[in-house]
Amino acid sequence: MAIRTVGVVGLGNMGLGMAGSLRRAGFAVLGHDISEARRAAASAAGIEARASLAEVLHGAEALVFSLPLARDVEALATAPGGLLERRDRKLVVIDTSTSDPGTSRRLAARLAEAGHGLLDAPVSGGPSGAAEGTLTMMIGGSAEDLALVQPVVAALSARAVHVGPSGAGNIAKLVNNLLVAGHLALAGEAMRLSEAAGLPAEAVLPVVNAATGRSAATEVMLPRWVLNGAFDSGFSAGLMRKDVGLAATLAAETGAHLPLAAAIARLWAETRDRVADPDDFTRIAAFRESPHG
* Catalytic sites, residue numbers: 173
To the nearest 10°, report the CA torsion of 20, 22, 26, 27.
-110
Q: How far apart are CA 75 and CA 95, in angstroms?
A: 13
- Coil, strand or helix: which one is 3? coil
Q: Could you give the CA distance from residue 257 to residue 173 in angstroms, rounded to a whole number?
A: 19
**Exposure on the CB side of residue 90, measured as CA atoms within 13 A:** 15
Angle between helices 259-269 and 168-196 (to 10 degrees): 70
Residue 166's alpha-carbon distances to 100, 101, 103, 240, in angstroms, are 11, 8, 10, 22
Whether the CB-CB separation of 163 and 139 falls below 8 Å is answered with: yes
HSE-CB at 109 with a 13 A cutoff on CA atoms is: 6
User: What ranges in the chain are assigned the alpha helix state H?
Assistant: 13-24, 36-44, 53-59, 70-77, 101-113, 126-132, 143-148, 150-156, 168-196, 201-210, 216, 237-254, 259-269
The span from the CA of 274 to the CA of 291, in Å, is 9
